[in-house]
Chains A and B, each alone.
Chain A
Amino acid sequence: GAGVSQTPSNKVTEKGKYVELRCDPISGHTALYWYRQSLGQGPEFLIYFQGTGAADDSGLPNDRFFAVRPEGSVSTLKIQRTERGDSAMYLCASSPTGGNSPLHFGNGTRLTVT
């Protein structure tokens, strides 16, 4: 079946603009995660959804970052007033509920803030 799909694959925006990054998880996966990966670093946790609710948003760096998952499937990561330091690869992952299921990652959205 289809894997985790992220769009767009690349996004270039100007400092101060607003961006939205979309994630389509694997069908039936109720858990959804957002991670951020800077160049030369490992991914860092941002937020985790179980169904429609954000179960853990402790990784969001500040209030410019917000994520939603209104119907428990597709999720959107929203970044307001973008800064050059926000430039990174934004990765989405999903997993089924329960058990020892590993995370399945998408190919990410590479965000560049100029």
Chain B
Amino acid sequence: QKEVEQDPGPLSVPEGAIVSLNCTYSNSAFQYFMWYRQYSRKGPELLMYTYSSGNKEDGRFTAQVDKSSKYISLFIRDSQPSDSATYLCAMSAVAGANSKLTFGKGITLSVRP
């Protein structure tokens, strides 16, 4: 079993839909949780960075962490065609410059106009 499991894709939704992306993890040492967006042929770009259990909102994006269930989610409201990309969850046990990220497999999202 991998340390981080991400829901398989691909996922296709109509423009304006609410999208829910999820990851589960098995390592209790993970304390820091991130969501990255990766466009084709580009490097991952950080979307959200959270530490504690609960919700964190940034514009149309909400990250949710439930440490007791070892489960994290990313919600995208009013999805746009420009949101079409691969979304990767990532986790680490240590913050900042000493962090070593463990990534999920990624899920490819397509938002249809």
A interface with B by C-beta (< 8 Å): 4, 30-31, 33, 35, 40-45, 48, 50, 55-56, 59, 91, 93, 95-108, 110
Q: A98-B96, A105-B43 are in contact. Are A45 and B105 (CB under 8 A)?
A: no
Q: Which residues of B contact A95 (CB under 8 A)?
A: 96-97, 99
Quick one: which of B35-83 are within 8 Å of A by CB?
36, 41-46, 49, 51
The chain B residue with its CB closest to the CB of A47 is B100
* A103 with B105: CB separation less than 8 A: no
* A42 with B97: CB separation less than 8 A: no
Question: Once the chains are docked, how many angstroms separate the CA of A45 from the CA of B44?
Answer: 14
Q: Which residues of B contact A45 (CB under 8 A)?
A: 100-102
The chain B residue with its CB closest to the CB of A100 is B95
For chain B, the count of residues having a C-beta within 8 Å of the partner chain is: 27
Q: Which residues of B contact A110 (CB under 8 A)?
A: 41
Q: Which residues of A contact B51 (CB under 8 A)?
A: 100
B interface with A by C-beta (< 8 Å): 4, 6, 32, 34, 36, 41-46, 49, 51, 88, 90, 95-106
Q: Which residues of A contact B44 (CB under 8 A)?
A: 43, 91, 105
* A98 with B100: CB separation less than 8 A: no
Q: Which residues of B contact A93 (CB under 8 A)?
A: 43
The chain B residue with its CB closest to the CB of A59 is B100
Main secondary structure of the interface of B (DSSP, over half): mixed
* B90 with A98: CB separation less than 8 A: no
* B96 with A107: CB separation less than 8 A: no
The chain A residue with its CB closest to the CB of B99 is A103
Question: Once the chains are docked, how many angstroms separate the CA of A31 from the CA of B103?
Answer: 19
Question: Once the chains are docked, how many angstroms separate the CA of A48 from the CA of B99?
Answer: 9
Q: Which of B32, B45, B49, B88 contacts A42 (CB 8 A)?
A: B88
17 contacts between A and B (CB under 8 A): A4-B43, A35-B101, A40-B106, A42-B4, A42-B88, A43-B44, A48-B100, A59-B100, A91-B44, A96-B97, A100-B51, A101-B96, A103-B99, A106-B43, A107-B41, A107-B43, A108-B42
